């Protein structure tokens, strides 16, 4: 069984050339749930330490369950990222929705930052790339059937279709399921099992930022790696922060 992995806090978050500037990772929640922001920020802090600040896209939908909601979140994510970059203490940006809304736009802004390039990572991209590492086959377990097409397109855009074994969905309304942690965990566990047993996946991504606590708890229940998207994004950010300045991918 698999337990939580140990992480090292990046040096960029423990020291600053300017003692008056607090360097931090800004986690942008593209939905409008402040409870979800708090939960995802807590998960990120387990990997990156206390210098993670969560911000909420307050005018976005409460949960991103269809393509229209993803599109509606983009300007909110970009606005939040722009404010964070202007503050001067932003060491990195993390887009905390599986569809990565606004990720490309934020990367363009971060490259042009007056204070130098800032790494920008999306939890969807990070989790998919980690799952597919070394040619590994992977599936996705999630709760949002209306986003199935968008997820498949995202896999293709990352060049991972040949390793993708398919998507398995929980039953029931996504918002109602998210409000019932035990049912959410068990529904996702069934979907993970189907990815492995029926589809032959050698790793399974849990597809959703609001599914973060459930994703963490499922890692210990399966021999097959279960990729929780927020920790995957934190691992990617830590590598980018340790790399040569100017690299955002």
3-class state of residue 179 by DSSP? coil
Alpha-carbon distance of 115 to 43, in angstroms, equals 28
**pLDDT of the residue at 62:** 86
Reported residue count of the chain is 249
pLDDT in tens, 186-228: 999 999 999 999 999 999 999 999 999 999 999 999 999 999 9
**pLDDT of the residue at 157:** 97
**pLDDT of the residue at 7:** 52
pTM of the model: 0.89
Alpha-carbon distance of 89 to 17, in angstroms, equals 11
Question: Which regions in the chain score pLDDT beneath 70?
Answer: 1-22, 114, 244-249
**pLDDT of the residue at 11:** 52
pLDDT in tens, 148-165: 999 999 999 999 999 999
**pLDDT of the residue at 23:** 86
**Would you give the DSSP letter of residue 58?**
T
* Tokens read off for 95: 């887009």
């Amino acid at each position: 069984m698999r337990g939580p992995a140990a992480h090292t806090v990046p040096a960029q978050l423990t020291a600053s050339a300017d003692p008056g500037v607090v360097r931090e990772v800004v986690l942008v929640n593209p939905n409008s749930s402040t409870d979800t922001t708090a939960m995802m920020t807590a998960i990120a802090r387990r990997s990156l330490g206390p210098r993670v600040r969560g911000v909420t896209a307050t005018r976005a939908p409460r949960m991103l369950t269809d393509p229209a909601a993803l599109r509606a979140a983009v300007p909110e994510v970009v606005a939040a990222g722009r404010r964070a970059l202007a503050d001067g203490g932003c060491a990195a940006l993390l887009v905390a929705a599986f569809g990565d809304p606004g990720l490309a736009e934020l990367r363009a802004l971060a490259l042009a930052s007056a204070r130098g390039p800032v790494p920008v990572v999306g939890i969807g991209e990070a989790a998919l790339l980690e799952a597919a590492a070394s040619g590994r086959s992977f599936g996705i377990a999630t709760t949002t059937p209306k986003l199935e097409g968008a997820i498949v397109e995202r896999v293709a855009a990352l060049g991972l279709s040949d390793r993708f074994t398919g998507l398995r969905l929980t039953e029931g309304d996504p918002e109602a399921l998210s409000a019932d942690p035990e049912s959410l965990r068990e529904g996702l566990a069934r979907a993970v099992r189907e990815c492995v047993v029926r589809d032959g996946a050698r790793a399974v991504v849990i597809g959703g930022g609001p599914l973060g606590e459930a994703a963490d708890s499922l890692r210990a229940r399966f021999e097959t790696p279960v990729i929780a998207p927020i920790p995957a994004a934190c691992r990617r950010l830590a590598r980018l922060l340790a790399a040569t300045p100017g690299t955002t991918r």
